[in-house]
Copies of this chain bind each other. A is one copy, B any other.
Amino acid sequence: MKRLSLNQISTKAWSLPEAVAGCAEAGVEWIGLWRDKVAEVGLDDAVRLLKRHGIRVSSLCRGGFLTGVTPEGEPVDGVADSRKGIDEAAALGTDVLVLVVGGVADNDLAASRQRVADAVGLLAPYARERGVRLGLEPLHPMQCVDRSVLSTLAQALDIAEEHPADTVGVVVDEFHVWWDPNVEASIARAKERIVGFHVCDPLVPFTDPLLARALPGAGPVDHRKLRACVEAAGYRGPIEVEVFNAELWNTPGDEALRQVVDAYRTHVAVP
Assess the A179–B209 pair: CB atoms within 8 A.
no
Contact of A109 among B104, B154, B220 (CB under 8 A): B220
Assess the A107–B220 pair: CB atoms within 8 A.
yes
Q: Which of A107, A181, A219 has the most B CB atoms < 10 Å from its CB?
A: A181
In the complex, whether A152 has a CB less than 8 A from a CB of chain B is yes
The distance in angstroms between the C-alpha atoms of A189 and B68, with both chains bound, is 34
Q: How many copies does the complex hold?
A: 2
Known: A220-B104, A222-B109. A206 touches B152 (CB 8 A): no
Known: A141-B140, A220-B145. A206 touches B209 (CB 8 A): yes
* Chain B residues, Cβ within 8 Å of A209: 142, 206-209, 212
Other than the known A151-B181, A209-B209, what 6 A-B pairs have Cβ atoms closer than 8 Å?
A: A104-B220, A109-B178, A141-B180, A145-B206, A151-B180, A207-B209
6 cross-chain pairs, A with B, having the tightest CB-CB distances, nearest first:
A144-B179, A142-B142, A141-B179, A104-B220, A107-B220, A155-B181
Which residues of A155-205 are within 8 A (CB) of B?
155, 178-181, 202, 204-205
Q: List 25 A-B residue pairs with CB atoms under 8 Å apart, sorted by A's residue number.
A: A71-B205, A73-B204, A104-B220, A107-B220, A108-B220, A109-B178, A109-B220, A109-B222, A113-B181, A140-B142, A141-B142, A141-B179, A142-B209, A144-B179, A144-B202, A145-B204, A145-B219, A146-B204, A146-B205, A151-B180, A152-B181, A154-B181, A206-B209, A209-B209, A209-B212
Chain B proximity mask over A107-145: 1 for CB below 8 Å, otherwise 0 = 111000100000000000000000000000000111111
* Chain B residues, Cβ within 8 Å of A180: 141, 151
Interface band, chain A: 20 to 34
* Chain B residues, Cβ within 8 Å of A113: 181
CB distance from A189 to the nearest CB of B (A): 14
The distance in angstroms between the C-alpha atoms of A121 and B104, with both chains bound, is 39
CB distance from A268 to the nearest CB of B (A): 15
* Chain B residues, Cβ within 8 Å of A179: 109, 141, 144, 151
The distance in angstroms between the C-alpha atoms of A104 and B202, with both chains bound, is 12
Contact of A142 among B104, B206, B219 (CB under 8 A): B206
CB distance from A200 to the nearest CB of B (A): 13
* Chain B residues, Cβ within 8 Å of A108: 220, 222
Q: Looking across the interface, which residue of chain B has its beta carbon closest to that of A156?
A: B181
Q: Looking across the interface, which residue of chain B has its beta carbon closest to that of A184?
A: B110
The distance in angstroms between the C-alpha atoms of A141 and B140, with both chains bound, is 8
